[in-house]
Amino acid sequence: MKILIADDHWVVRESLKQVMRRLEQTLETYEAETFGEAASILAQHDDVDLMLVDLVMPGFDAFNGLRKLRAEFPDVPVVVVSVHEDVDHVLRSLEQGVIGYIPKSSGGEEIERALERVLAGEVSFPRRIIERSTAAPPPPRAEAPPTAPAERDLDVLTGRERDVLSLLGRGYSVKRIAQELELSTQTIRVHLGNVMRKLNIRDRSEAVHYAIRHFGESVPAGRG
């Protein structure tokens, strides 16, 4: 497995390498201190399996950097490793198509669990950060209708749609959900589209947020 670690602090890069080596024996790592270095490595090695990237480093400006990265290298799975620990950074990163978000303050075991899930084909986002936004009601949106209670919202879903939403809340990727339910990925995307329409959810990041809030506690023991 080939991993690119892009961070301008060598201590962070070394720590991530140590964690990855515990999880993956056949590991080949590349390192970059700037976006330019990272882009050069990705251009030379189109078989990189995973990229771990800081949101802020020379040449890489947070979400603009993620947009540029996803536009130039759309096939490379990306996990953000960041000092920012607020729900806005997590969800805005998710909107750019990343498959994971790891706060730099996380302990070694937490980082290892997150990377283990990513390597298993799942997604990993810090539920403890996302759930903070549920402590207070979100600011009102003029265009949005009043929100119905969660129980009434969920009642409008079919059993299969609830299954899909539940697995999404447990951190499963679309591919993993399809495998779990023995359906095609296209069918899963159709179910997700129906869920979002019925619950008045605007985009994928909001769907993940909703799923984690209502189904996240059902994660099996040992799965983070």
CATH topology match: 2-132 vs 138-218: no
The domain spans of the chain are: 2-132, 138-218
> What are the beta bridge partners of residue 103?
82
For residues 176 and 167, the answer to whether their CB atoms sit within 8 Å is yes
pLDDT tens digit string along 107-161?
888 899 889 888 877 778 887 776 665 444 444 444 444 444 444 467 788 888 8
| Percent over 70 (pLDDT), the chain | 85
CATH of domain 2-132: 3.40.50.2300
* Residue 98 binned pLDDT confidence (cut-offs 50, 70, 90): confident
- Residue 77 CA to residue 136 CA, distance in Å, equals 33
- Measured in whole angstroms, the distance separating CA 64 from the mean position of its chain's CA atoms is 17
* Residue 223 binned pLDDT confidence (cut-offs 50, 70, 90): very low
Give the count of alpha carbons within 13 A of 138, CB side only: 15
What residue type is 140 in one-letter code?
P
For residues 78 and 98, the answer to whether their CB atoms sit within 8 Å is yes
Average per-residue pLDDT in the chain?
80
What fold does the segment set 138-218 form as a domain?
Answer: Arc Repressor Mutant, subunit A (1.10.10)
Tokens representing residue 85 in the block: 């620990």
> The tokens 């990272």 sit on which residue?
38
* Residue 51 binned pLDDT confidence (cut-offs 50, 70, 90): very high
